[in-house]
Structure 1
Amino acid sequence: MNGSASDSSDTQCPQSITFGQFHLLPAQRLLLKNGKPIELGSRALDVLIALLEHAGEVVSNRDLIRMVWQDVIVDESCLRVHISALRKALACAETDVSYIANVPGRGYSFVASVTRDCDSDTAQVSPTTSIGALPPRLLRMVGRDETVPAIAQLIKLHRFVTICGHGGMGKTTLALAVTHHLATHFGSLVLFQDMSSIADPALLPGILASALGIQYRGMDPLQELMAFSQEQRLLLVLDSCDHIIVAATYLAEKLYGETEHVHILVTSREPLRAEGEHVHRLCPLTCPPEMCGLTATDALTFSAVRLLVERVHNNDNAFILSDNDAPMVAHICRKLDGMPLAIELAAGQVEAYGIQGIAELLNNRVSLFWDGRRTALPRHQSLMAMFDWSCDLLSETEAMVLRRLSVLSGVFSLEMVTAIVKSEVDESLVIDAIGRLVTKSLILVERAGRSMRYKLPHTMRAYALEKLRTSGEVDLTIERHAIYLLSMLERLNVPGETLPEYERIQLYIEHLGNICSALEWAFSNHRNLLLGIRLAAASAPLFLGLSMLDECRRWSERALAARAEVTNGAPPLVVQHWPRSIPPMMTSGTQHTLPINHHKGIESVANPDDNLLRQSQNFDLPGSEGKRSPHDIQWQNLNLSTRITEPKIIAMMQWTLENSGRPAGVPGFSFRICKANSDLKPPLVNEDEFSFGYDYRIRALASLARVLWLRGYPDQAARIGRQALGDAYNLRHPATICLSLIYVATVFLWVGDWNNAEQTIDKLISTAEEHAFGHDHAAGIGLKGILLIGQDRVDAGIHLLHDCLNVLSIENHQVLTTMFVRCLAKGVAAKGRYDNAIEIASGALEMVENVGETFDTPEILRVTADLYAYRPSPDLALAEQYLNRSLACAERLSALAWELRTAISLTRLHLLQGRDAEAGQRLQSVYNRFSEGFDSADLRAAKQLLNSLNKQSALKLTPRGHPATRPDSTP
């Protein structure tokens, strides 16, 4: 064949070509299959058009290359690539028709029958109104398959639609897809206008008129545009109208109101608020929630994950999402707010950092400078460029509010925002700015009951933090935030609230990161010591309520040190208002960390200006002559607690009595001494969620699970524990995972849920071993030993407990020791070695005597009582003394769960003593105080015992009975 590109151009180009199920519109460069557009690359489409122009003929490779690439020199392999793409696009499984044949040694031929139509109604184009080719659409758009036809239908029905949403959500991409989808419906009368390049809003009518081919010759372009549009069936797409939104609104409203056939599609961060406008707010791509056991198959059902995986695969064909990577990919997508642009930018960095590396980088901070596609619009080539494009259009007040919101992690209220901002501007202007920022999709909003709560997306917060740093407003903003948190915490501590304590505390969990951020800021570099002291005092009840003793101790110590420092120069009135609620016993650490003069710092709190602690001066303590030890001072506060009538304060003080040698802590013990996680780290804001060792929220949830069980809420404890584990697994932070596993495994053991306990403990052991966490691994071995003893696998359990205690003894790591020791005593007794068991239990009691009551002191006393009651030479009187001490201690600690166990043991003891008449009275009273958890092991045992008593068929046990025959197998 001797034809050329010029040969084909001399013939009249048909307006449509039909073959098989396909319909080609050459002028519009559009290929349809059964009326639906087919995605095809530009070169591949050129090859198809050239072959169709010479259908039935053999076109040589050389001629095809000349027609398609003209003067560009390309290899024949490039042609083969596009021929392959064509064959794939034209493949029809239902007909198995082959359209393009390869003639060896000669070239290619289009072999199917072709119908050319120069008068097709579907492709009529007026020479005076032909607008030209649309911008290319993405070859594949993820997560918007249902959105495109939905918006297209809105445009057909209502004529005027605005796609609005956060920057980077894909508004332009979606608008292009909708435009291509509607191309056949409007023929060639489609204009896609990028408004971002229009600097002067007054030029808008003229630019649109010129794009439509209107010759207005100095006349008013708007009038000519309106006159042209009166009789035209036109789709007008105005993309990125944010910076000329007033002019775009006026024009769109005028075209909509004064024409009948013009259809308008607009993209903007916010609605135009024009007459006739229908708004489609573009949501983020869907992300997997925080869940346990997320698999690759499950993750790929979410569009954000599909986009990330597809983009990574484009850069690395070998990449396949694995079950192991699925939680990390889900975490990345959530951190990037399901924003398509941010996900694409992150995917481009996987080659450099890997999936885990990207996840870890995002834990520290979102990178604003990752590069995108070189061919993308300038504002889409990085997150910084995109946010600059959006935020440069904000008013001064809106920009200031947005900057200052960046110090808030998590959700916030209007009250919190106005407290941080309102001194510079009127409160009404701040509230108005919040509304505008929500409208502009820069702040997320969610309903919480009857009120609304707000949140900055992670990506926007990272950008706003940068702007806050450069503005020099960091200290001012954090100080105001700290003052607000102080007032909020003081409301938490108001007596007489009707909500139960644990429910009130749950309301404040989401503020933990903010509270510790403010504390860190206040004490660092002496920024505001007085504010820090007050905030530490106000936050102590919250930390104690969650049993977060390390944090309470950390901030109490900082507050006491700061107080001593500022006393000399502080005015008397200020001194009088210094806090009175920092628990002195919280300032004691272990023997290896306690300063020699630490007790002096503790005593400094109790001065004549502190009304609450002034009462303690009236007590004479044993050994009070001369210097008092921290232990003495703790007992002083124990005596003081008898003067306090608020039950929760008494319970917290009792629970937290500890001194320089404490082997165990309190509910929600800390297995490794760690610092509080904060979102802010002076001198500048830092987004590292693990800068102090653990994720705050997850640790609080795990602590709360233990507290709920001790308070008598087994079902809630298990539910909160599972939530904490699920959140920890999804966070993929090993230290937080191990800590949560330790806390929650204990709850499962207490409840008697052996299956979940075993899975949790095995996970703890493997995770700690993988990351070389020696103490956590030892704790896992000890918990496994407790489980085995509870399952009557006593020998194996004893062996594991010995291994655990040996490791903890060598490391001088005594947290949890009392729990492991008392369980070891039970295991040894189950083998009939009562004297040895009593000796072991006595060691645990000695620890308690040395350090004061621990969270499991009632259980230690109960186990000791059972040992004396069931040994070969029983001492029932001594056993009863221990049980009475256990009951008293459980009551002081408000530990209803321990009280139930002791009441069960007391009932059995009364039966052994022949006191059938009073047996079960205390147990019935305690049992009646429970409102849930009746399927847990302890409550089932209690019910069984009570039923047997009621039927006058009490258990027939003798003093020489083997403890293994008793129903008490709880850890």
Structure 2
Amino acid sequence: MVMVSDQARGGISFGPFTFVPGERLLTKEGVPVELGARALDILIALLSRPNEVISKKDLMARVWPDVRVEEGSLRFHMASLRKALGDGRNGARYITTLAGQGYCFVAPVSRAPGAPDLPRATETIPYANLPARLNRMVGRDADVVQLAKQLIASRIVTIVGAGGVGKTTVAIAVAHHLKEVFANSILFVDLGMLNDPKLAPTAVASMLGQSVQSDDATPSLVAFLRSRRILLILDTCEHLVDAVAPLAANIIEAAPQVHILATSREALRIESEQIYRLDALACPPDNPAVSAAELGKFPATQLFVERALASGARFDLGEAEAAIVADICRKLDGVALSIELAARRVESHGLQQTAKLLDQHLAWLWQGSRSAPPRQRTLRATLEWSHGLLSELERVVLRRLAVFVGPFTLDAALDVVTCTKLDRSEVFDAIDNLVAKSMLVSRPIGAMMRYRLLDTTRAYVLGASQDPAEEADLAARHATYYRRWLEQTGNEWENLPTGAQRAPYFAGLNNVRAALEWCFRENGNRSIGVDLAAAATPVFLAMSLLVECQRWSELALLTLVDQRRGGQEEMHLQAGLGISLLFTQGNSDRVHAALTRSLSIAEDGGDAFHISAMLSMLHLYHLRNGDYRLALECAERSSSLASTHDDAMLRTLANALLGISRHLVGDLPGARGALEAALENEASSALAGAVYFGFDHLSLARASLATTLWLQGYPVQACELALEAIHRAEGMKHPVSLVIALTALITLLWLDELDAAEHHLSWFVARAETQYFAPYVDVGHGLQAELAIRRGDVEAVQQLISCLDRLHTAHYERFTVRFSLMIARSFAATGRLTEGITLVDNTIRLVQSKGGIPYTPELLRLKGSILLKMPKPRIKEAETCFMQSLEFSRAQGLRAWELRTATEFAAHWANQGRVEDARTLLRPVFEQFTEGFDAPDLQTAKSLLTALG
């Protein structure tokens, strides 16, 4: 990047110095020179008429317009100017004093082309003391209006906030807003340049042109202000607060027309003071759905974009860029100074690299505006300034508080930070002071106050050296506290509150993650890590955080020593590992081993709740494997367990498992009874919405009941229940339960509700992909292929075959029969008749070996249909298949399949001239139905009956 010199920017040079009028910036060989506002005004006046004598009277009129001052003030600031220039040292001469006449600038001056003319010294500059207001201030208009009202009403207001949040900028804007009210009588005093508290009254008095004749300028200053109406802005008070507070109190008490607007990182704490806490700029939520168009609604991102473009950056703000900008602003906590420093880097580094550098904390040294006070030229300088104002006790407590990630409670802080060297009362007082000094942010959530360090502050504090033993003790206390917190909140995760009330849970979970990272680090405490991971497993499952659940369960199990095997910790860790692998990678021997081991430990310990949970997961494991009889065995064991315990939840779960299994082995009446019993007890059972069993089994029960009702000949009830299953699962906001409930889509496909099925399928696949539910992604794509086939796209069969192959690899056989049936149907439609029959025969054998009787009549019907399409129709075999299909359907109460087979069989007989036989076959089957006469199968049957007369 090409550097532009001050001279090239339109400067006025003399000796090694350059003055840039547009920025009120004086540099020496390119390095900014620190100079007070009055001294700088004197230099400007002298430079406007080099080699000319300017009288003291003219200089005072120029530097102190509309304010009467004594010559002592001019001499004071002239001395400061000469000292800054080094006037008289090593032969350098810039300003000459002419006794009785005034002052003259005598050094040679050169002016760059385009440098603006300085106003003549004989002209007055109104409001010269009040810094210029920013051309555009982002996100602070409401603050300015509110502050102006408070200042008029109460006379003294302190703007309190963290370093870099924009307190000075807002104070200046308020002063400009009130210029007319105070008839331009506004004095801006930057106390940040002072180090000695005793000089605070002197600085204010001298800027008002008062001659200071004693060590304490307060009495004369108060006397001068007593009859005057003026707005005093006391900027950057935090390091002089003990001196500024009594000064401000004296002025407010004695000078009734004086109003004071102070800025500080802590309040003055004097009578009548109103505190206005200036928060950081609002940032977009951590939500990928926030679009580029919405960034303009948030002041933080708006400021970033404006400052980046003003610094010469060029970028198109598309969706990807918007996400990066939002992430940068969140990392910087909406602090205006930090955002501006980062935005300046975009021109040279680009958006992505700027974000990466933030993660590496290189942003601490980024340079800001040259005209800014030294404490605000880099982020590190701002943090060091704030840190330097703390007592040693406050620094120690702040360093220990940095162990927390995000918000934390006072109880958590007292429990974790307290140690042998710090008692609870000291920690409590230090936290109180850190909040007062804006080093800790406090905010109520409900009835509980939450605290947190800004991310930049936390990173700075963590970068400070710390005793390794102290750090390990602190991290261990932090991890132990959050293990207890997980145990205390264990029953709350399945039904979290909405809105802001959820925030404490997620903040706590972030601390759990940080604690786990430390525990399993090289120098961490793995024993504590095992306990913490075991306590976190149910929460990870409840939140569908399966990848995390798998990671920490695996690490903890690898760490588990023999002495601790067989206990509660291993039981939960094995469950977490088995369930997370089941949903993310599919069935495997490893999954079965983990679930079985967890079940064995639960049985040894007599933990009925966990036994039931593991039986439910093994039940799902066998369902996905297509081993429906083994799944039924798990359901029957669960039922036996429930019968020995007076527990509604265990009974409800057992009924759900029994109903699902009986449905799949062909016992529809038994399935319906069990499923309806489970759903009837839903309201009174704690199982309603429970996800500690891996997912909400009632969602699957409702989907299974929908399928059962359809098979029994109740299409309207089936459709309503299928949609209810999907909508209820969506309301739970639990991804695993949702993708399982969406198996109700098979009922919608059977009912030819293709548009509704397509809508939910798209959502299903997107969710499964987002959550890395690998088998369910293939299920979703398979159902999409089936949907395409039902709409006449027989070429989609190849996609369906590919999905089925991937599901075989994952040992996910739950949809094997269904998808094989659709593939065989497509083979028949495209003339691949022999392949179709072979696939049907293989599928029938699979059903006979593992269960899945509800599909048998449909497979036999499809085989008969294909046999009739052969080049030499095999009529007897086809009729045998139709007869077997009808017998199976009637024996199992499968009216839906019976209607399909009867319709096709009747059409076949009608084509052979056996009209009466056809009518006799179809009519009684059709007349069994009492609803859903608009359904495609019923309409086809009705049309055929009409044609048969």
Specify the TM-score bucket, using the shorter chain as the normaliser: 0.5 to 0.7
- Corresponding letter in the other structure for 2:455: H
User: Per the alignment, do residues 233 and 414 of structure 1 end up closer, same or farther by CA in structure 2, a change over 3 Å counting?
Assistant: same
Q: CA deviation at 1:785?
A: 2.7
Equivalent residue for 2:229, pick from 219, 228, 233: 233
Partner in structure 2 of residue 792 of structure 1: 791
* Cα shift readout 1:309-342 (whole Å, capped 9, x = no counterpart): 1111122264453444223222222222211111
Distance 1:951 1:69 in 2: 111
Q: CA deviation at 1:525?
A: 3.3
The 3-state SS of whatever aligns with 2:297 is: coil
User: Per the alignment, do residues 764 and 475 of structure 1 end up closer, same or farther by CA in structure 2, a change over 3 Å counting?
Assistant: same
The 3-state SS of whatever aligns with 2:141 is: coil
Distance 1:243 1:281 in 2: 18
The answer on whether the counterparts of 2:700 and 2:741 sit within 8 Å (CA) in structure 1 is no
Partner in structure 2 of residue 539 of structure 1: 536
The answer on whether the counterparts of 1:482 and 1:535 sit within 8 Å (CA) in structure 2 is yes
User: Per the alignment, do residues 261 and 577 of structure 1 end up closer, same or farther by CA in structure 2, a change over 3 Å counting?
Assistant: same
Distance 2:839 2:495 in 1: 37
Does residue 602 of structure 2 align to residue 611 of structure 1?
Answer: no
- Corresponding letter in the other structure for 2:165: M
Equivalent residue for 2:730, pick from 707, 718, 721: 718
User: Per the alignment, do residues 188 and 549 of structure 1 end up closer, same or farther by CA in structure 2, a change over 3 Å counting?
Assistant: closer
The 3-state SS of whatever aligns with 1:304 is: helix
Q: CA deviation at 1:749?
A: 9.5
Q: CA deviation at 1:259?
A: 1.1
User: Per the alignment, do residues 792 and 913 of structure 1 end up closer, same or farther by CA in structure 2, a change over 3 Å counting?
Assistant: closer
* Cα shift readout 1:175-195 (whole Å, capped 9, x = no counterpart): 223334444554564332222
The answer on whether the counterparts of 2:571 and 2:597 sit within 8 Å (CA) in structure 1 is no
Equivalent residue for 2:459, pick from 462, 467, 470: 462
- Corresponding letter in the other structure for 2:400: R
The answer on whether the counterparts of 2:899 and 2:941 sit within 8 Å (CA) in structure 1 is no
Q: CA deviation at 1:267?
A: 0.3
- Corresponding letter in the other structure for 2:730: A
- Corresponding letter in the other structure for 2:553: S
Partner in structure 1 of residue 395 of structure 2: 399
The answer on whether the counterparts of 1:706 and 1:747 sit within 8 Å (CA) in structure 2 is no
Q: TM-score, normalised by structure 2?
A: 0.61
Mapping 1:147-546, distance limit 5 Å: 147-183=143-179, 185-186=181-182, 189-218=185-214, 220-290=216-286, 293-316=289-312, 318-360=314-356, 362=358, 367-424=363-420, 425-467=422-464, 473-493=470-490, 501-503=494-496, 508=505, 510-525=507-522, 527-546=524-543
Distance 2:773 2:572 in 1: 33
More divergent stretch after superposition (524-533 vs 785-794): 785-794
Q: CA deviation at 1:551?
A: 4.0
Q: CA deviation at 1:171?
A: 0.6
Q: CA deviation at 1:534?
A: 2.4
Distance 1:715 1:309 in 2: 40
Distance 1:368 1:843 in 2: 70
* Cα shift readout 1:30-87 (whole Å, capped 9, x = no counterpart): 9xxxxxxxxxxxxxxxxxxxxxxxxxxxxxxxxxxxx9999644454556xx99xx9x
Partner in structure 2 of residue 555 of structure 1: 552
The answer on whether the counterparts of 1:825 and 1:841 sit within 8 Å (CA) in structure 2 is yes
User: Per the alignment, do residues 759 and 154 of structure 1 end up closer, same or farther by CA in structure 2, a change over 3 Å counting?
Assistant: same
User: Per the alignment, do residues 415 and 787 of structure 1 end up closer, same or farther by CA in structure 2, a change over 3 Å counting?
Assistant: farther
Q: CA deviation at 1:476?
A: 1.9
User: Per the alignment, do residues 952 and 832 of structure 1 end up closer, same or farther by CA in structure 2, a change over 3 Å counting?
Assistant: farther
- Corresponding letter in the other structure for 1:344: E
The answer on whether the counterparts of 1:155 and 1:161 sit within 8 Å (CA) in structure 2 is yes
The 3-state SS of whatever aligns with 1:178 is: helix
The answer for unaligned runs of 5 or more in structure 2 is 1-47, 67-103, 616-624, 658-689, 703-724, 749-754, 829-835, 865-881, 903-925, 944-949
Partner in structure 1 of residue 720 of structure 2: none
The answer on whether the counterparts of 2:739 and 2:776 sit within 8 Å (CA) in structure 1 is no
Equivalent residue for 1:828, pick from 805, 808, 823: 823
The 3-state SS of whatever aligns with 1:325 is: helix
Q: CA deviation at 1:233?
A: 2.2
The 3-state SS of whatever aligns with 1:454 is: strand
Q: CA deviation at 1:794?
A: 5.0
Partner in structure 2 of residue 801 of structure 1: 800
Distance 1:780 1:458 in 2: 42
User: Per the alignment, do residues 445 and 73 of structure 1 end up closer, same or farther by CA in structure 2, a change over 3 Å counting?
Assistant: same
Number of positions where the alignment pairs a residue of Structure 1 with one of Structure 2: 718
The answer on whether the counterparts of 2:739 and 2:768 sit within 8 Å (CA) in structure 1 is no
Distance 2:573 2:654 in 1: 8
Q: CA deviation at 1:173?
A: 1.8
User: Per the alignment, do residues 638 and 562 of structure 1 end up closer, same or farther by CA in structure 2, a change over 3 Å counting?
Assistant: farther
Which structure has the greater CA radius of gyration? Answer: 2
* Cα shift readout 1:613-637 (whole Å, capped 9, x = no counterpart): 89999xxx9xxxxxxxxx99x9999
- Corresponding letter in the other structure for 1:611: G
Distance 2:935 2:201 in 1: 98
The 3-state SS of whatever aligns with 1:287 is: coil
The 3-state SS of whatever aligns with 1:530 is: helix
- Corresponding letter in the other structure for 2:480: I
The 3-state SS of whatever aligns with 1:193 is: strand
- Corresponding letter in the other structure for 1:381: R
The 3-state SS of whatever aligns with 1:148 is: helix
User: Per the alignment, do residues 256 and 592 of structure 1 end up closer, same or farther by CA in structure 2, a change over 3 Å counting?
Assistant: closer
- Corresponding letter in the other structure for 1:531: I
Equivalent residue for 2:569, pick from 579, 584, 587: 579
The answer on whether the counterparts of 1:501 and 1:648 sit within 8 Å (CA) in structure 2 is no
Distance 2:398 2:941 in 1: 66
Distance 2:419 2:156 in 1: 42
Distance 1:360 1:201 in 2: 41
Partner in structure 2 of residue 935 of structure 1: none
* Cα shift readout 1:65-113 (whole Å, capped 9, x = no counterpart): xx9999644454556xx99xx9xxxxxxxxxxxxxxxxxxxxxxxxxxx
Partner in structure 2 of residue 42 of structure 1: none
Q: CA deviation at 1:198?
A: 2.4
Mapping 1:847-886, distance limit 5 Å: 867=859, 872=864, 873=882, 875=885
Q: CA deviation at 1:261?
A: 1.8
The 3-state SS of whatever aligns with 1:490 is: helix
User: Per the alignment, do residues 68 and 575 of structure 1 end up closer, same or farther by CA in structure 2, a change over 3 Å counting?
Assistant: same
Distance 1:753 1:704 in 2: 27
Q: CA deviation at 1:265?
A: 1.0
- Corresponding letter in the other structure for 2:542: G
Q: TM-score, normalised by structure 1?
A: 0.60
Distance 1:124 1:553 in 2: 70
Distance 2:308 2:595 in 1: 57
Distance 1:170 1:244 in 2: 19
The answer on whether the counterparts of 2:588 and 2:810 sit within 8 Å (CA) in structure 1 is no
The answer on whether the counterparts of 2:238 and 2:264 sit within 8 Å (CA) in structure 1 is yes
Distance 1:266 1:301 in 2: 30
User: Per the alignment, do residues 650 and 471 of structure 1 end up closer, same or farther by CA in structure 2, a change over 3 Å counting?
Assistant: farther
* Cα shift readout 1:341-392 (whole Å, capped 9, x = no counterpart): 1111111222343223334555676843333223322221222221222233
More divergent stretch after superposition (817-826 vs 270-279): 817-826
| Structure with the higher fraction of residues in helix conformation | 2
